[in-house]
Structure 1
Amino acid sequence: MGNNRESRREKERENYADRQKASKQKNTLIAIGVFAVVIAIVGYASYHYYEKIAVTGTQMSGPPGAGKLGDEHEHAAILVRIFGDEFDFSLPDYQVKSPYIHFESQNGDTIHRHASNVNIGYLFHTIKVGLDDNCFTFPDKKPEHTFCTNEDYSLKFYVNHEKIPSLTDYVLNEDDRILVLYGNENQTQVDNYLMELDGLFIEKK
């Protein structure tokens, strides 16, 4: 009689332990399922958020009149020399600040334009470099880093060896070569910079 009672208690304890184990396993599976659903939702939302940024430029919209992001993909080489010193666009501060037009892959020689009607002025605006017909200004805006046309020095623009009066509204074409100079260069020096520009590799990808 006593043995039967003890046997029943042992079975009850085992059944209770089994129920507890099954309950824990069920709760664990539910938790894993909920976690997986949450991860899926976050992943889905993140994907579409960044897709929206990439496709529509919601986070950083393009300039007025810009075409749809991705409707064009053009490349051009650029060389900027201030008193003979090259301005380095490969630095992180100047890389991919807009999906519409940018420098990328730590390359400062190639401009990538990803939408129609996006001009050079907008590129410089996104990297916080001042550029107009008369002045080139570094991002820190310090007076000593502002280079404007005056009696002694001038800001000059060349596209495919042709001197042009303004660059800000220019929309680059495939394989363009753009030269920006500030100083008092003679024609021989300008020609040397144009030859240097012609030797730059235009990275296309």
Structure 2
Amino acid sequence: MTEKVLPKEDSDFSLPGRMDESNSAYFVPEIESKSKSKSLVIFGIAFVLVSTGIFAYYFLNQSEIDSEILDNSAFKTLEERMVEHYRVGQFGSDHAHAALLVFVNGDQIDFSHPRFQLQSKYIHFENNNPYLIHKHATDVPLDMLFSSFGLEITSECIVLRGQTDLNQNCIDSKNSMTVLINGKSFSNINLYEIIHNDRILISFGDSSLISNQLEQLDKLEIHDVPKSSKLVPEKDISV
């Protein structure tokens, strides 16, 4: 007679089906849990290292980074961008006066209005004068004056942009555009740099009115350049 022997406590895996049950129900989840925990730890360490590296780089290069941000053209004013574009000279490197009259359909634009006064540091109208241009640096084109208060002049149109409206006039069969500097026709007024005592006429509309407009322009007084300038504190502009 064969003696029956009970299976030992650690021999359960030898029974039919026990090995599969043990592997699938107990061992696999434990392995996956450890793997996930390990991945989270690695990710956390990597995140800390990257964050620390970025912070350290910014700390060591803070001045340079801040300088690049401030130099970004998106933060610059229109005047600052134009100064760079036209390579305008240092403020105070020149001082010149010129008379400017602009007519639209026979009506003179009154530059004594506050919206036109002292709008640019480099070239502007001042002291409520309706026609006298003041230029305070070399290489300053009239484009900087016009852009400072929203005036756009092309070969075909004259456009004046207000805060809430747009006044645009373009040549047609009845209206023409005339630009004269010291009595001579000029093709691109925007790029012109005034010389002291210049007289400039820009006229849109009936060309028969130009002779009278020139007479009016010739009668205007162009003040001599003062030996010293005074400062307008609220605008940081010398006049």
TM-score range, shorter chain: 0.5 to 0.7
The answer for unaligned runs of 5 or more in structure 2 is 1-75, 227-239
Q: Which residue of 1 aligns with 2:133?
A: 111
Is the 2:124–2:145 Cα contact (8 Å) retained in structure 1? yes
- Runs in 1 of length 4+ with deviation above 6 angstroms? none
Give the Å deviation of 1:142: 4.4
Percentage of matched positions with identical amino acids? 31
What is the alpha-carbon distance in structure 2 between the residues aligned to residue 134 and residue 172 of structure 1? 22
Matches within 5 A, 1:185-204: 185-186=207-208, 189-204=209-224
Shift of 1:190: 1.7
Question: Does 1:79 find its partner at 2:101?
Answer: yes
C-alpha separation between the residues in 1 aligned to 2:211 and 2:153? Answer: 23
CA distance in 1, matches of 2:169, 2:89: 32
> What runs of 5+ residues in structure 1 fail to find an aligned partner?
1-57
1:159-178 equivalences under 5 Å are 159-178=181-200
Q: Distance in 2 between matches of 1:131 and 1:185?
A: 17
Q: How do residues 150-161 of structure 1 correspond to structure 2 at under 5 angstroms?
A: 150-161=172-183
Q: Which amino acid is the alignment partner of residue 203 of structure 1?
A: H
Q: Give the structure-1-normalised TM-score.
A: 0.66
| Residue aligned with 1:168, SS | helix
| Residues 109 and 202, structure 1, Cα contact 8 Å, conserved in 2 | no
Distance 2:185 2:96 in 1: 21
> Highest CA radius of gyration, 1 or 2?
2
Alpha-carbon deviation of 1:193?
Answer: 1.1
Residue pair 1:133, 1:167 contacting (<8 A) in 2 also: no
- Between the aligned partners of 2:131 and 2:223, the Cα distance in structure 1 is 8
176-185 or 134-143, larger mean C-alpha shift? 134-143
Tell me, in whole angstroms, the C-alpha distance in 1 between the residues paired with 2:118 and 2:130.
11
TM-score, with normalisation over the residues of structure 2? Answer: 0.57
Higher relative contact order (CA 8 A, sep 6+): 1
Residue 89 of structure 2: aligned partner: 67
Give 1:1-205 correspondences, 5 Å limit.
60-61=79-80, 62-63=82-83, 64=85, 65-140=87-162, 142=165, 145-186=167-208, 189-204=209-224, 205=226
Q: CA RMSD for the aligned pairs? A: 1.8
